[in-house]
A and B are shown apart, each in its own frame.
Chain A
Amino acid sequence: NAGVTQTPKFRILKIGQSMTLQCTQDMNHNYMYWYRQDPGMGLKLIYYSVGAGITDKGEVPNGYNVSRSTTEDFPLRLELAAPSQTSVYFCASSYSSLASVPLPYEQYFGPGTRLTVT
């Protein structure tokens, strides 16, 4: 299993441009998450999804959009890039079932996308 993969690894955007950060997992996890991590800071949740077709806002959703058309993929879209969106973006996934062991909150992370908006 490749786990959680993210593309691209690095990207520089000009203000106002748009782009999509890709995230794919091959662990058949139903939950997927997008976080951003600013220098010296912890992780802030942007959006999450509990299954295909279902998404919900996290702590810092403004300026981002997501979709979840398949179990495997959870792309994050930036429509009008702003300097405040310069950050490292991490995708994560986990499995949830009432009968599952281990419990569903063990999240597995991708390697991250470093985005700079200038």
Chain B
Amino acid sequence: GQQLNQSPQSMFIQEGEDVSMNCTSSSIFNTWLWYKQDPGEGPVLLIALYKAGELTSNGRLTAQFGITRKDSFLNISASIPSDVGIYFCAGRYNAGNNRKLIWGLGTSLGVNP
């Protein structure tokens, strides 16, 4: 079935560094969502995007809905240890009565204090 390509698969950075990750799809999407999952917890919604070109921030996090509608990017500025976790992208492709999200496999982020 449909799948999103999320990259990088994992990354390990120094505290204070900026981080970028992205998701791409083969289909046109009309919704992009970014979630964070802490160890042992369920995913928590960070940012939701609904329009091509949209740029939305949530504190140190900024996400963009690509203008081709086939990709999305998440940036984290000035990383801190509590940013550690797995970041998932999810999207909904534009097809009639589609009610389901497609999920990426996640980017695992480690932060060295």
Contacts and interface: CB of A to CB of B under 8 A. Distances in A.
Partners in one complex: yes
Interface of A: 4, 31, 41-45, 48, 50, 58-59, 90, 92, 96, 102-103, 105-112
Interface of B: 1, 31, 33, 40-45, 48, 50, 88, 90, 92, 99-101, 103-106
Contact of A42 (B40, B50, B106): B106
Given A102-B48, A103-B50, A42 B88 contact: yes
- 6 closest A-B pairs by beta carbon, nearest first, are A109-B42, A42-B105, A42-B103, A43-B103, A105-B31, A109-B43
A59 B101 CA distance: 11
A90 B40 CA distance: 11
B41 A112 contact: yes
- Residue among A4, A50, A112 facing the most chain B CB atoms (10 A cut-off): A112
